[in-house]
Structure 1
Amino acid sequence: MVHLRENNPDVEGEALRAPLGEFAPPLRTDHPVSRPTRSRVARLNVRLRSLPAEIRIAAGKESGQGHLFHFVPVCMGLGEVVWFSLPVPPSTTILLALLPLSLIALWFSLAGTNRRALSLAALMVVAGMLLADAETRRMATIILDAPVVTTVTGVVERREAGAAGEWRYVIRLSATADPVLRRPPQRISLLARSRHGVVRIGDPITGRVRLSPPSGPALPGMNDFAFQSYFAGIGAVGFFLGAPERPSIARAAESDLWTQVDQSLFSLRDRISDRIHEVLPGDTGAFAASIITGERRSMSKEATDALRLSGLAHITAISGLNMALAAGIFFVGLRALLSLFPGLAQRYPVKKIAAGGALLAATAYVLISGYQVSALRAYLMTAIMLVAVLIDRPAISLRNLAVAATIILIAQPSAVMGPSFQMSFAATAALIAGYAAWRKAPRSIWPTPTSTSGKLATFAAKFVGGTLATSLIGGLSTAIFAVTHFHRLSTHGLEANLAAMPLISIIVMPAGFIAMLAMPFGLDAPFFWIMGGGLDLVLVVAHTVAGWGEAAFIPRQPTWFPVLVVVALLLMTLLHTGLRHGGTVLLIVTLAAAFLRSGEQPADLLVSEDGRMVGFWSQQERVGEGRVLASNRKRPPPFLFDQWQPALAADHHLPPSMESAPVLPPPADWKKEETWDSATIQLARQTLEQLVQTAKTDRFTCIRSACAAKLVDGWTVLTVDRPDLAGPACDVADIVILGGRSRMKGCRSTATFLSETTLRTSGAVEIRLGAHHDKTIEISPALSGPPRPWTIHRLYDWRTGETARQHGIDSGDSKDKDSDSETERKNGPHNPAMPVRQ
């Protein structure tokens, strides 16, 4: 009998009952015996075969722990994004029919976890589409269809001061005159630069103004400001042609209770901002007002650019940081104050009392901040956390974030398309997930201190490490949205946040919060001074870091890039099992594909939506100066060029070469119904032909009212500012672009003709040129297909009252081109300076 315990002392008692053959000693040999092992291919094959079963098990764990609830706002938001993005979304009837079908599918799939999850996801997608459709119908904003100069009368709903003393008024329009608009918008936003008696919120206002529709996309695929204006209820933007006045009428009566409450809140916000500017003048006061009341227009351009370039612009937005600090300071302070009274602390739950007080403070904060999307999201998250404290539940969790996101998506579906919603929720989800991962697997890398100095050093290290980790996680999680919407990344944002955030957390927010509590008693000035000192240091950090270098420009990415990155981030942050590693793999593959892709062929010619700015790639980029964008404007409009440059990754702008000769004939006087004779037309044609012959390939060559350039493969482009030059220009260039309105639909020659009139329906365009001998040309408009509610105003013709069926470049047939061109030459051009009657 073999004594196993003596020969194998490590064998457990359970193994003693095993058959003896299982413990037979191996045969000794002088040569190693090769063990039969599976090949790597076989092991990989087995692993792949078991992968579906492992995924089902992991999915069951996620569902069992309630993690699938995190995807409710994701699916709802997906439905809203699809509805807003589709050229032709499903009709309301179809969506209403799909909703009960989704409910029936969910009812019959209760037995299976996977089927139930898929049915619930489909239900949430359909619900999101219905919510987007309902909000669009509810807003029904009338957007101005064409620029106009008129006299307006209305009531001031909101106002905001600018850095140079100007004022921005949001006015509810009540009447227009000289001319009277046929389709007047309900609300307009006007800038008043002239000195005037500042009009209070709720008071009537009148004045001569120039109104324009909100801008469309600067280039195809870029941000559409008309979309934002539609859902903000703003139908036109513009400025006063002089000082606005108070009409000699009684104060307008309020329409309803909500209007009164809204005006009262914004009046209170104005008074708080005025008090801050009184105590803290200049950029310091503007910075403080942006943090407390959300008023950001009063900060100078230099300070705004410094904060943006340094990656600190997020401080000026009332977001989770501001709300959490405000509520946290109140919560900790009130709890500490109540704890000073032992009898009270033993008899009542001071923690819950402090949470209730912090909830009231956060509510007051969001009301005076103008309830922006980021502020609402932060308030909902903070309120849910404080309510969780009141009912003894975990305060910080992804479930709370999902509830806050769901509430916003139900109340304001259009917010899902904006960078504020996307960046705030992405950063919050990433921070919560990172915090949860750190708590789940803590690692002590610092020895336990015993002395006072050691404890202070440990605290400082943890504070710096936490700030660094927070900045890194927040920056990485929002980078994709910064690239998608703004096409730029701050290269030194991590260093700037590491230096500035301790100042915000320790000095700025506590002092500002105490100042707000002391303001009713007139004791706020000392605390505002402390807050201003901290903000001055933050501005020093911003200017210093901004001087280290410009932000990195990231050109437009293909549509699949942000979609796949968002999916990867959702998997990484919302899941807890091994399924989250699928997001890591997807993120790596997506980034690698974006880095290795060859990229699409850049457009040869860029045209703004009004035809007044045209750009092309200069040949100077071959000399080592980077990508140089040449335009026909010596000083391109900042609003437009600041969007073009990062989206196109243009390193430099090349202004045109201005020439004094040749000289074009003066325009005909349309007021006297003058027309050009044949000799004048021939002179204009010869002048333009001479300009085209002397044009360069690296930049535009310009004379008064016209510019010319030579592009690749011999293509010539001619831009003109006067409608009477359009006909002669068509005879001497391949592409003619008129920066004004015209009755012409196209050239009688083979030239391509674009004008403010044709571009009004299509928006900005990108032109790619093919073979010159074939006259092959591809035009990509910013807007195409059937109109949506926020673009239909572009198709309205105020002359005839008709509306076109869809967007796009419509040059008309040759017969129409000839007749329109001939009419233009006989009757005189349509002058853009003529008064526009809506």
Structure 2
Amino acid sequence: MQGGLPGTAEILFPLRRTGDVATYDTPALVSRPKLRAIAPQKIAACFAEERSFGHDFLFVPVFIGCGAIFWFSLDTSPSFPVLAITCLIAAGLASFTKYRSGLAATACGFFALFLLGMLFAEVETRRVGTVVLDTPVTTTITGTVTRREVDARGDWRYVVRLAATEAPALSRPPEKVSLLSRGGGEPVALGATIRGKARLSPPSGPALPGLNDFAFASYFRGIGATGFFYKPPQTVISPEDDVRAGTDWLEWADMRLYGLRTAIAERIRNTIGGDAGAFAASIVTDERQAISAGTMEALRLSGLAHIVAISGLNMALASGIFFVGLRLAFSLFPAFAQRWPVKKISAFAALLMTLAYYLISGFAVSAERAWLMMSVMLIAVLFDQPSLSLRNVALSALVILALSPSEIMGPSFQMSFAATIALVASYAAWSRWRVDRERLFIGRKPAWMTVAQTAGAIIGGVITTSLIGGLSTAIYSAEHFQRVTTYGLFANLAAMPLMSLIVMPFGLVAMLLMPFGLDAPFLKVMGYGMALVIEVSREVASWGGSAATGRPHGWFLGLASVGFLLLALLRSRLALLGLPFLVLAFGLSAATAYRNPPHLLVHEDGMLVALLEDGKAYTTKTRPQGFVYDQWQRALLLPEQPVPPVFLKSEAAATTVALTKAKLDPEKMRAVARQMTVALRDAEPGIFTCSKGIWCAARAGSGEWIIVLEDGRFAGKACDIADIVVVSRRTSFSQCRSGALLLNRDILRRIGSLEIDFAGSDQVAVVGRLRAAIAGMDRPWSEHRYYDWKSGRFDHEVPDAVTRLLAAPQ
């Protein structure tokens, strides 16, 4: 040091740490500031940066959504007045402390938003008020057809608004039911009143604890039962002869729109033909049932199933192509383009086109969400605001959460917004990086560099977009479907150019020309592009398809979502706080994947039971319900093919004994009891031995005896023999006197599907742990499980033995 001045290294070191202005006060320079003093300043600076860019607004829909999720996840509904009053108090405190304590105001504001989300959920649930069928029944229905859709076999599925039921008349009939009519033939006209004998069933609950509850989605769609007609229904009153037609203009408009939608879908399918035609119709009108099962499976395995639904991708391509095409058309007339704001005119026209697209989509949930998002972005163009921003995504989410907060519980909402948020956030980060990089270049770039950069940007953009979209939705795919696509990146890289350059442009032109009958050539080209997309999906699916992840940990979705949102919504270093949440989420799920599976699975209808031994699944059915077993297989990583039961040779027809209501003689009872005892004693451990239509019995490797009955009259004998008795029918008693665990139809209805862990040979009790899918839940979409049609009241009673097992530490 010369002249008392510090050296260069001594000056630069503190500047790199604090960014302060250099002084020649030597003691201050050489003393390093403590991390404890710097950290609060840096954190405050990061918060100030986020607030200056308006990122606090991005968390408004996040907290509203969290409130809705919390409300839907509760076992019982909280008091509406208490929620409303608490929300008003929190909002008042936030306003009162706004200029006194910023931290307190923020906390109160976010808490008020959380409560507002709960209120939105309560209001929607009360508004929907769907009556769900309580038990399967065969009855003759009379009602009006409000929806119809054809499937790949030519069968028609109708949504019928019930007017009456008879033989028997239902004491608690649902308002709308979804019924399949087999046999093809001419469909029933929309608005027609039909009559026919049908089998109605309530929507199924979760196949296992933690899996999807289909009754929840059915409740908020207004569908109270599903089923089928025994033969094609008869038209009682045609739409033309119905004197009530036209009395409700909203209903009339809805019917006409669905009629237009059906006509467009049939026109597309008939012009293109095959799966390509059904696929093309699905992305225009959202009628997906006509796509064959093989093609749908290939699309799922390849990661292209998102194309089938009218989602943000389809809506963005359609509106974007229309917007850009109209601007290019205006540019051909320079005088007009210079005099008028052609960009805003094109945006307004694209807004109308997007609305028309939504109206013919059948008001599907995914289409509604995509329409709202695109509308917000196009309206932003009208007001000279950036269209592609996280603020617009937040506005779209706010509208959807205010109107239909239940959508946040489904995979469609979660995956759609996850992909959109990730793509918009990545685009914003890339734009900032590009601006900083271009500042390094001084002067004019060579032509070859410009061409190379443009080509690289296009190719890199397609790859990056597919990669970001796949990674951002993997969290929700693992949670809801217990699998992720392994080669989805390659499938999307091959399919997206086909969708962007062939399918959507020609499909858009075809729709514009369809009223004039000039759409056929363009539909043919669109169909050619669809056929190529199907070929891509089949090729990629043949490589190995998707990878099963198993059922994630219960905290996986919440932790991973918090981590993802912090990474995507924040622009400062605070975004790095999301990494620990993601690491913890995946770590917990990895630990869960290696946990031993349960010993016994029982479906809520009592018909399908699986005993899990040594990596094998032994079931009570030769061909178990694919819909149920597939969920078990993905969630618990079970073998794709279970071990079937062994059937005894019986002289009597199975259904003759099982379905009769006559009282059995004691000798028959003793004979069946001897059969079950011999089967349990002599059969190979694990494998079920069955007398078709009457009983199945199996002995676990650890010694537990299980009997599954389809005839409740043998329940008493089964209780005296087995340790666990499952009965798919009503029984005259709810507990076994022998101490065996009895699970009859009424008990299973009230607690749902079960996972059972055996206690082990060193324990007195047989069952060590019992986990139920919906035990203790009393919500509007599950209350039908407690309704007893004989007494006309809701019965929540569960036997004490079952209650104790459910309350035991898990």
TM-score (norm 1): 0.88
Matched, 1:104 2:92: yes
- Is 1:635–1:655's contact at 8 Å kept on the other side of the alignment? no
**What residue is the counterpart of 2:679 in the other structure?**
691
Alignment partners' CA distance in 2, 1:586 and 1:495 = 29
Matched, 1:536 2:536: no
Compute the displacement of 1:493 (Å): 0.6
Compute the displacement of 1:212 (Å): 0.6
Aligned pair in 2 of structure 1 residues 19, 481: CA closer, same or farther (>3 Å)? closer
- Is 2:750–2:796's contact at 8 Å kept on the other side of the alignment? no
Larger Rg: 1
Compute the displacement of 1:502 (Å): 0.9
Alignment partners' CA distance in 2, 1:707 and 1:400 = 58
Compute the displacement of 1:747 (Å): 2.2
Of 107-116 and 316-325, more deviation after overlay is shown by 107-116
Pick one of 758, 772, 781 that aligns with 2:747.
758
**What residue is the counterpart of 2:499 in the other structure?**
504
Compute the displacement of 1:22 (Å): 6.8
> For each residue in 1:526-565, what CA deviation from the matched residue of structure 2 results, as whole angstroms up to 9, or x when unmatched?
1111111111111111001101114111111222221111
Matched, 1:93 2:87: no
After superposition, residues 625-774 of structure 1 pair within 5 angstroms as: 628-661=616-649, 674-704=662-692, 705-772=694-761, 774=764
- Is 1:654–1:699's contact at 8 Å kept on the other side of the alignment? no
Pick one of 782, 785, 795 that aligns with 2:786.
795
Pick one of 127, 139, 154 that aligns with 1:165.
154
Alignment partners' CA distance in 1, 2:792 and 2:184 = 38
**What residue is the counterpart of 1:518 in the other structure?**
513
Of 440-449 and 362-371, more deviation after overlay is shown by 440-449
**What residue is the counterpart of 1:67 in the other structure?**
55
**What residue is the counterpart of 1:269 in the other structure?**
261
**What residue is the counterpart of 1:782 in the other structure?**
773
**What residue is the counterpart of 2:103 in the other structure?**
114
**What residue is the counterpart of 1:425 in the other structure?**
417
Compute the displacement of 1:449 (Å): 6.3
Alignment partners' CA distance in 2, 1:510 and 1:125 = 42
Task: Kindly provide the amino acid, as one letter, of the partner of residue 76 in structure 1.
Answer: I
Alignment partners' CA distance in 2, 1:641 and 1:423 = 25
Aligned pair in 2 of structure 1 residues 400, 706: CA closer, same or farther (>3 Å)? same
Matched, 1:236 2:236: no
Alignment partners' CA distance in 2, 1:449 and 1:488 = 48
Number of positions where the alignment pairs a residue of Structure 1 with one of Structure 2:
778
Compute the displacement of 1:809 (Å): 5.6
Task: Kindly provide the amino acid, as one letter, of the partner of residue 116 in structure 2.
Answer: A
- Is 1:663–1:687's contact at 8 Å kept on the other side of the alignment? no
Of 375-384 and 562-571, more deviation after overlay is shown by 375-384
Matched, 1:576 2:576: no
Alignment partners' CA distance in 2, 1:90 and 1:792 = 15
**What residue is the counterpart of 1:396 in the other structure?**
388
Alignment partners' CA distance in 1, 2:11 and 2:529 = 68
Compute the displacement of 1:732 (Å): 1.9
Q: Equivalent residue of 1:498, what SS?
A: helix
Aligned pair in 2 of structure 1 residues 640, 594: CA closer, same or farther (>3 Å)? closer
Alignment partners' CA distance in 2, 1:312 and 1:750 = 52
Q: Equivalent residue of 1:238, what SS?
A: strand
Alignment partners' CA distance in 2, 1:228 and 1:72 = 25
Alignment partners' CA distance in 2, 1:19 and 1:556 = 60
Task: Kindly provide the amino acid, as one letter, of the partner of residue 644 in structure 1.
Answer: W
Alignment partners' CA distance in 2, 1:283 and 1:732 = 54
**What residue is the counterpart of 2:404 in the other structure?**
412
Compute the displacement of 1:472 (Å): 0.8
Task: Kindly provide the amino acid, as one letter, of the partner of residue 679 in structure 2.
Answer: L
Pick one of 340, 344, 347 that aligns with 1:348.
340
Matched, 1:246 2:241: no
Aligned pair in 2 of structure 1 residues 350, 358: CA closer, same or farther (>3 Å)? same
> For each residue in 1:172-207, what CA deviation from the matched residue of structure 2 results, as whole angstroms up to 9, or x when unmatched?
111111111111111110011123431121111111
Pick one of 475, 481, 494 that aligns with 1:480.
475
Compute the displacement of 1:805 (Å): 3.3
Alignment partners' CA distance in 2, 1:587 and 1:812 = 37
Alignment partners' CA distance in 2, 1:68 and 1:332 = 33
Aligned pair in 2 of structure 1 residues 346, 242: CA closer, same or farther (>3 Å)? same
Compute the displacement of 1:603 (Å): 1.2
Compute the displacement of 1:759 (Å): 0.7
Task: Kindly provide the amino acid, as one letter, of the partner of residue 528 in structure 2.
Answer: G
Compute the displacement of 1:434 (Å): 0.2
Task: Kindly provide the amino acid, as one letter, of the partner of residue 225 in structure 1.
Answer: F
**What residue is the counterpart of 1:78 in the other structure?**
66
Pick one of 541, 549, 557 that aligns with 1:546.
541
Task: Kindly provide the amino acid, as one letter, of the partner of residue 483 in structure 2.
Answer: R
- Is 2:194–2:237's contact at 8 Å kept on the other side of the alignment? no
Compute the displacement of 1:448 (Å): 6.1
Pick one of 369, 372, 381 that aligns with 1:380.
372
> For each residue in 1:22-64, what CA deviation from the matched residue of structure 2 results, as whole angstroms up to 9, or x when unmatched?
79xxxxxxxxxxx9998xxxx9xx4355323322231122123
Aligned pair in 2 of structure 1 residues 781, 273: CA closer, same or farther (>3 Å)? same
**What residue is the counterpart of 1:606 in the other structure?**
601
Alignment partners' CA distance in 1, 2:356 and 2:271 = 22
> For each residue in 1:555-601, what CA deviation from the matched residue of structure 2 results, as whole angstroms up to 9, or x when unmatched?
11222221111001111111111111111233234334443567544
- Is 1:147–1:211's contact at 8 Å kept on the other side of the alignment? yes
Pick one of 433, 451, 470 that aligns with 1:441.
433
Alignment partners' CA distance in 2, 1:629 and 1:397 = 50
After superposition, residues 192-231 of structure 1 pair within 5 angstroms as: 192-231=181-220
Compute the displacement of 1:469 (Å): 0.5
Pick one of 142, 146, 151 that aligns with 2:135.
146
Compute the displacement of 1:237 (Å): 0.6
**What residue is the counterpart of 1:15 in the other structure?**
none
**What residue is the counterpart of 1:371 in the other structure?**
363
Of 679-688 and 594-603, more deviation after overlay is shown by 594-603
Matched, 1:615 2:603: no
Alignment partners' CA distance in 2, 1:586 and 1:812 = 36
**What residue is the counterpart of 1:464 in the other structure?**
459
Compute the displacement of 1:610 (Å): 0.5
Of 345-354 and 302-311, more deviation after overlay is shown by 345-354
Q: Equivalent residue of 1:799, what SS?
A: coil
Alignment partners' CA distance in 2, 1:459 and 1:179 = 70
Matched, 1:124 2:116: no
> For each residue in 1:707-749, what CA deviation from the matched residue of structure 2 results, as whole angstroms up to 9, or x when unmatched?
2222142111122222222222222221111233333313222
> For each residue in 1:657-713, what CA deviation from the matched residue of structure 2 results, as whole angstroms up to 9, or x when unmatched?
424347789788799863222222111111111111122224323332322222142
Aligned pair in 2 of structure 1 residues 673, 326: CA closer, same or farther (>3 Å)? closer
- Is 1:630–1:653's contact at 8 Å kept on the other side of the alignment? no
Of 705-714 and 788-797, more deviation after overlay is shown by 705-714
After superposition, residues 284-323 of structure 1 pair within 5 angstroms as: 284-323=276-315
Compute the displacement of 1:654 (Å): 2.2
Q: Equivalent residue of 2:83, what SS?
A: helix
**What residue is the counterpart of 1:450 in the other structure?**
447
Of 735-744 and 489-498, more deviation after overlay is shown by 735-744
Q: Equivalent residue of 2:683, what SS?
A: coil
Task: Kindly provide the amino acid, as one letter, of the partner of residue 776 in structure 2.
Answer: G
Alignment partners' CA distance in 1, 2:661 and 2:323 = 75
Structure 2: tracts of 5 or more residues without a match: 13-21, 804-810
Q: Equivalent residue of 2:641, what SS?
A: strand
Task: Kindly provide the amino acid, as one letter, of the partner of residue 655 in structure 1.
Answer: V
Alignment partners' CA distance in 2, 1:736 and 1:665 = 23
Aligned pair in 2 of structure 1 residues 504, 679: CA closer, same or farther (>3 Å)? same
Task: Kindly provide the amino acid, as one letter, of the partner of residue 409 in structure 1.
Answer: L
